[in-house]
Amino acid sequence: MSGRNATIEVGATSSALVALIRSEWGKAWSVRAPAACLAGAVLLAAGTAFTLANDQVRAMQTGEIPVGTLVPVAEILASSVMFAQMVVVLAALQLVTPEYASGQIATTFLSHPRRWVVVLTKAAVAGVLGGLTGLLTGPLCVAATELALGDAPRATVPAAEAAVMTAGVFACAAMVAVALGFLTRSGVAALSVAFVLLVLTLAAPAATGKVFPGVAGSALVSGTGDPYARWAALLVLLAWVVASVGAAVVSVERRDA
């Protein structure tokens, strides 16, 4: 009964924001799916890296590639990360679309009625989860690649560099995924759009493809300068994050929950 004789507090406060972040962080861990997806992303990326590196070794043994060619570890890393980021997207969507499917979103908005803060908080939580997963995934992919290459000559990537770049791509993918989840309110729809944006655009003509986050992510991780340098790739990715999260905020604020 203590709270009921107090005056009613109005307006935003940092303590309410901190409380919301703690709640959303706790929600991400109180069901198994997000953690399972993130673990899956790490294993998938490392497994892909090992397989791709092994293919290079085989190609050298069969003479497809001249013996002594430097194997580009950065490109193997980029391919593996691009593949695994869809599972990171799946993990991030777990923070949003099941809430719409179950109606929990009403409880969330009742607990914190400033909806734009909810959208930004979920995006931030997903970004941190994606980033942490990336920090683990990058070096693990490099290690898997090195393991498969044996003593074949390679142009290697420092573990720290692989960690930071992979973290950047996973964090951005997770935040875009949260935005798509809010925009579509459907897991299947959000995943489909994310697949087009992040994966299918890799196969698009270079001139068109380079404005999409898939190509930008690949350029950020590989650092080959194709089609642009890392700083430009990072700008493209951040632009997608800002635009999609911004659109999600506008949409969620406007429509009925």
Partner 1 sequence: MRIDDRARRPAFRTFVGTGRQSGPVIVVPMLQFAEISKRYGPVTALDHVSFRVEEGTVTGLLGPNGAGKSTLMRLLVGLDRPTSGSATVAGHRYRDLRWPLRVIGTHLGGRPVHRRRSARAHLRSVALTHGLARARVDEVLELTGLADVAHRAAGGFSLGMGQRLGLAGALLGDPAALVLDEPVNGLDTDGVRWIRELLRLLADQGRTVLISSHLMSEVQLVADRVVVLGGGRLLADTTVAELAGRARDEVVLRTAEHGADDRLRALLPDAAIRPVDDQCDDGAWRVTGASEREVGLAARGADLTVLHLARETADLEAGYLTLVGDRGQQVDSVEAR
Contact with partner 1 (CB under 8 A) among 111, 158, 208, 250: 111
x/- track of binding to partner 1 for residues 21-60 (CB under 8 A): -xx--xx--xxxx---------------------------
Q: How many CB atoms lie within 10 A of CB 140?
A: 20
Compute the distance between CA of residue 35 and CA of residue 40 in angstroms, rounded to an integer.
8
Minimum distance from residue 128 beta carbon to partner 1 (Å): 17
Q: Are strands 154-155 and 71-72 parallel, antiparallel or unpaired?
A: parallel
Are 197 and 213 in contact, with CB atoms under 8 Å apart?
Answer: yes
Q: Is 14 in the site for partner 1 (CB under 8 A)?
A: no
Per-residue contact track with partner 1, 75 to 104, x per CB under 8 A? Answer: -----------------------xx--xxx
**111 vs 208, which CB is nearer to partner 1?**
111
Rounded distance between C-alpha atoms, residue 83 and residue 78, angstroms:
9
Strand runs (DSSP E) across 126-180, as ranges?
Answer: 154-155
Does 150 sit near partner 1 (CB under 8 A)?
Answer: no
For partner 1, the binding residue among 51, 54, 109, 186 (CB under 8 A) is 109
> How far apart are alpha carbons 41 and 133 in whole angstroms?
8
The one among 69, 107, 192, 208 contacting partner 1 by CB under 8 A: 107
Does 63 interact with partner 1 (rule: CB under 8 A)? no
Collapsing DSSP to helix, strand or coil, 240 comes out as helix
Can residue 106 be called a binding residue for partner 1 (CB under 8 A)?
A: yes
**Is 61 a residue that touches partner 1 (CB under 8 A)?**
no
Regarding 256 and contact with partner 1 (CB under 8 A), the answer is yes
Give whichever of 118 and 140 is closer to partner 1, judged by the CB atom.
Answer: 118
Residue for token pair 């719409």: 100
- Of 3-11, 179-187, 188-196, 219-227, the window that binds partner 1 (rule: CB under 8 A) is 3-11
Q: Considering only residues 235-254, where is the footprint of partner 1 by CB under 8 A?
A: 254
* Burial class of residue 171 in the structure, from the number of CB atoms within 10 Å of its CB (0-12 exposed, 13-18 middle, 19+ buried): buried
1 binds partner 1 (CB under 8 A): yes
Is the peptide bond between 227 and the residue preceding it cis, with omega within 30 degrees of 0?
yes
Within a 10 A sphere around the Cβ of 253, how many other Cβ atoms?
Answer: 11
Using alpha carbons, select from 22, 99, 56, 149 the residue that is nearest to residue 257: 99
- Rounded to a whole number of angstroms, the minimum distance from the CB of residue 254 to partner 1 is 8
Neighbouring C-beta atoms of residue 169, cutoff 10 Å:
32
Nearer to partner 1, 125 or 237 (CB): 125
- CA-CA distance, 137 to 183, in Å (whole number)? 28
Question: Which parts of this chain interact with partner 1 (CB under 8 A)?
Answer: 1-5, 8-13, 15-16, 19-20, 22-23, 26-27, 30-33, 98-99, 102-107, 109-114, 254, 256-257
